[in-house]
Structure 1
Amino acid sequence: MECLGVSSLQNLQALSALLSTQDGEVDDDEEESKNVTACAQLGPGHIGPPPKNDKEVATAYVRKNGKDIWSEEEVAEGSQYDDVADQRPQPEYEIILKQSVRTEDLFLGLSGKDPSSMCCEAMLVKIKLPDTKATEVVLDVKEKFLDLRTPKHKLGLHLPHPIHSHEGKAQFFSERGELEVTLLLKRSMDLINML
């Protein structure tokens, strides 16, 4: 065991001598004390590049008005509809992604479509609204948020994909007490994915 300890001590001293930036010969005891004090001065903050001056630090947010706390980009879409005091229950809902599949897609695979969400063109949101009339439903659809209000229910739904807010349709089925909202998905890579 002692041989191992001496060996590792010698290895550490040899490594210290290799990493030392000072030239010249120094007594072993002095060299150890200098290495210990140099190591004691270093901490986790010394890892990586040195920090920039406060004046050089660029921030992503530049306030337009000195009294603003945050910008409009920092606020999640639909947060203006959040009302903690409103005690109306949230209705049951289901989100279904849809795609147009033709015979050549199904049997021949000519279009390159697959069952993944990347090939879907629309989103169907089914909302159960029992004991509700179609005239009582107030629906507001944004690019990433769906807001539904009735006298008995309230739903603020953050959508999983961005949609074209002006190109959807809604249909109310009074016999089932269900509202179906079909929304067209907005994807930046449509031209590449649908070839």
Structure 2
Amino acid sequence: MERPNDFSSPLSIEALCDLLNNAEDEQSLSSSSGITPGNIGPLASEKKWSSTFPNDISSKDIWSVSEVPDGSQFDDSLDPRKQPEYEMHFKQRVGSEDLFMGLSRKNPSTACCEDIVVKIHLPNTRASDMSLDITRKFLDLRTPKYKLGLHLPHPVNEKTGKAQFKVDTETLEVTLTMVRDFDFVNFS
């Protein structure tokens, strides 16, 4: 008596050959050719190009805007101005319910911080000489003596940021609100 999963008999091997030769995907396999890794998946003629290519083939652009990293338009290695010293801090908005009762799920990690504070030391600089441009992932500061192009660690809301120049310490303090996908989980 033959077992159902036994492929040692000639009948079961012949049944297996028929099954492979009459596959549903209509790939033609002759008895002389074996199955190779190239037979897995759609045929080469059915494969479509990746979506990384631009949709408009007639365009003369050599790259799309999505391929250019944020802030690269501000990168200039030939600019002789010095980069000022700066510090970056994360800031939490903490209330009494956080401090005394522990009702929120905040902890001291940067995952629970809402703001990024960038302190830039600019000696011998006036506030009127500064040009500050902030985008979603990049901070660009230019003065006659200094230039700072800073890629931010998190996306920020460029419309709600604040900048304050402290004359006594010659420091520009820029406070930016972070925008993260799951902030509704941390701060609800």
Q: Which TM-score tier does this pair reach, normalised by the shorter chain?
A: 0.7 to 0.9
1:176 is aligned to 169
- How far off is 1:60 after superposition? 2.3
Aligned position for 1:106 = 99
After TM superposition, the structure 1 = structure 2 runs for residues 30-69 of structure 1, keeping only pairs within 5 Å, are 52-53=44-45, 56-64=48-56, 65-69=58-62
Q: Decide whether aligned partners of structure 1 residues 150 and 54 sit closer, same or farther in structure 2, where only a CA change above 3 A counts.
A: farther
Choose 109-118 or 63-72, whichever is displaced more: 63-72
* Cα distance between partner residues in 1 of 2:72 and 2:45: 36
Q: Relative to structure 1, is the Cα distance of residues 131 and 62 closer, same or farther in structure 2, using a 3 angstrom cutoff?
A: same
Q: Indicate if the aligned counterparts of 1:81 and 1:156 stay in contact, CA closer than 8 A.
A: yes
Q: Deviations over 1:9-54 (max 9, x none)?
A: xxxxxxxxxxxxx88xxxxxxxxxxxxxxxxxx9xx87x8688448
Q: Report deviation, 1:83.
A: 1.2
Q: Distance in 2 between matches of 1:178 and 1:156?
A: 16
- Give the Cα separation in 2 of the matches to 1:53 and 1:135: 64
State percent identity of aligned pairs: 50
Preserved contact between residue 63 and residue 71 of structure 1 (Cα < 8 Å): no
User: What letter is aligned with 1:153?
Assistant: Y
5+ unaligned residues in a row in structure 2: which ranges? 1-12, 15-35
| Amino acid across the alignment from 1:156 | G
Residue 185 of structure 2 aligns to a residue in which SS? helix
More helix by share: 1
Alignment check: 8 A CA contact 1:168 1:184 kept: yes
The amino acid across from 2:82 in the alignment is P
What are the superposed Cα offsets for residues 112-156 of structure 1, whole Å, 9 maximum, x if unpaired? Answer: 111122211111000010111111110000000000000000001
1:124 aligns to what?
A: 117
RMSD of aligned residue pairs (Cα, Å): 2.6
Comparing 151-160 and 50-59, the one that deviates more: 50-59
Q: TM-score, normalised by structure 1?
A: 0.71
Residue type of the alignment partner of 2:175: T
The structure 1 residue matched to 2:135, chosen from 123, 133, 142, is: 142
How far apart, in 1, do the equivalents of 2:131 and 2:48 lie? 50
1:190 paired residue among 176, 183, 186? 183
Q: Does 1:93 align with 2:89?
A: no
Distance 2:60 2:100 in 1: 62
Q: Could you say what secondary structure the match of 1:59 adopts?
A: coil
**Per the alignment, in what secondary structure is the counterpart of residue 160 of structure 2?**
coil
Opposite residue 58 of structure 1, the aligned amino acid is S
Scaled by the length of structure 2, the TM-score of the pair is: 0.74
Counterpart in the other structure of 1:152: 145
Q: Is the 8 A contact 1:167 1:183 kept in 2?
A: yes
Query: Which structure carries more strand by proportion?
Result: 2
Whether the 8 Å contact between 1:139 and 1:146 is mirrored in structure 2 is yes
Q: Deviations over 1:167-188 (max 9, x none)?
A: 0110001111110000011122
Aligned to 1:17: none
Aligned-pair distance for 1:57? 2.7
Moved more, 108-117 or 151-160: 108-117
